[in-house]
Amino acid sequence: MAAPGQGFMTELKSAVTPRAALLVLGVLLLQLGFITSYVGALHHPTPQNLSIAVVAPEQVAPKFTGALNAIDGKPVKAVTAPDAETATQQIKDQKVYAALVVDPKGTQDTLLVGGARGPSAAKAAETVTTALDAKQGRTVVVHDVVPLAKGDTNGLTSFYLVIGWCVGGYLVASILGISAGSKPANLHRLLIRLGALAVYSVVAGLGGTIIAGPVLDALPGSILALTAIGALVVFTVGAFTMALQCLFGIIGIGVAVLIFVVLGNPSAGGVYPDPMMPPFWRAIGSIIPNGAGAAVTKSIAYFDSTNIGKPLLVLFVWALVGIAVAVLAVLRTPRSGGRELTADPA
């Protein structure tokens, strides 16, 4: 008869296998990473190189740009613009976040902002320029040249819409992997999964667009264009998650969560735009599908689809890499007689 201690240890080893323990440890690390990433990115928004154009007579423009660029911590990157019309267009083209138009005949200047680019960035530009003008006995009045829609008060609709698309992408890929095996048995079955993902992506893109637009009136913009970008985001995230599952089995789902949730969400520029985030999250935000999708969605909604070349390229590259990796992983696997494969045997 086994001693009580030995019996308990036997039961413990049987109930908690080394593989299960490693998976639990992985979940703990993801959880702590989630907290670190979100709190680290969002707890202390401080402007860094916030682009502001200065419109002023030639003899005083250097004074204003120099004063803005000389602020401790480099919160602002000031440039000049020839006139208010040009500065307004630069804001609409997403080349600058704001523009300070100096009135040479009076003491009240005008700050042009694009509120749809990010309310926090507009507020930061107002704070900096107001403090600068106050030192010179001047005042600032703010004019929003790209205001948010009435149903998008805080400018978060495009961000949450893209996050929803991302969630759908990695969840549907995960479900396909869990229900039918992490790795398709052959190339034909992989293509079927990718085809199913493509159909799902279009439906999800259209559904999200209709909810955010016509149903809730929370986001303006072309339904067709927003549906297309939604489908691309869902497919990109789903295809890359499939690739991770082909490589790592069920652990690939955890890697997808690390990329798209832990790193991708807080760096996507939803709550705070790039200049308001710490350097690490600012650096990765534009090269992860979450941030790229949010940038294109916001541009379609508010900025006439300007400046979308790079984020679209990011999305296409992630999608193509996901497809390529999944195809190579399947082709390198010996035929299994038609059975789906899993990299995680019990």
Residue 333 has pLDDT above 90, yes or no: no
Q: What is the pLDDT of residues 55-87, one digit of tens each?
A: 999 999 999 999 999 999 999 999 999 999 999
d(C-alpha 300, C-alpha 107), whole Å: 37
Please give the average per-residue pLDDT across 298-327, as a whole number.
97
178: confidence class by pLDDT, cuts 50, 70, 90? confident
Which has more confidence, 194 or 9?
194
342: confidence class by pLDDT, cuts 50, 70, 90? low
Q: State residue 23's pLDDT score.
A: 79
Residue 183, beta-bridge partner list: 341
Residue 181 has pLDDT above 90, yes or no: no
Q: What is the pLDDT of residues 133-173, one digit of tens each?
A: 999 899 999 999 999 999 998 999 999 999 999 999 999 99
338: confidence class by pLDDT, cuts 50, 70, 90? very low
* Percent with pLDDT over 90 in the chain: 79
346: confidence class by pLDDT, cuts 50, 70, 90? very low
Please report which residue ranges of the chain form alpha helices under DSSP H.
4-15, 18-42, 61-69, 84-92, 119-135, 157-180, 187-210, 223-248, 251-257, 279-285, 289-302, 309-331
Please give the average per-residue pLDDT across 31-38, as a whole number.
93
Indicate the SS3 state at residue 250: coil
pTM for the model stands at 0.89
337: confidence class by pLDDT, cuts 50, 70, 90? very low
* Number of Cα atoms under 13 Å in the Cβ half of residue 74: 5
Do 112 and 90 touch, CB atoms closer than 8 A?
no
**Residue 75 falls in which region: left (phi positive, over 0), alpha (psi -120 to 50) or beta:** alpha
334: confidence class by pLDDT, cuts 50, 70, 90? low
Q: What is the pLDDT of residues 214-263, one digit of tens each?
A: 999 999 999 999 999 999 999 999 999 999 999 999 899 999 999 999 99
Q: State residue 17's pLDDT score.
A: 77
Q: State residue 159's pLDDT score.
A: 96
Residue 182 has pLDDT above 90, yes or no: no
* Residue among 301, 278, 15 nearest 156 (CA): 301
Q: State residue 40's pLDDT score.
A: 93
Q: State residue 271's pLDDT score.
A: 87
Residue 339 has pLDDT above 50, yes or no: no
The H or E element spanning position 142 is strand 139-144
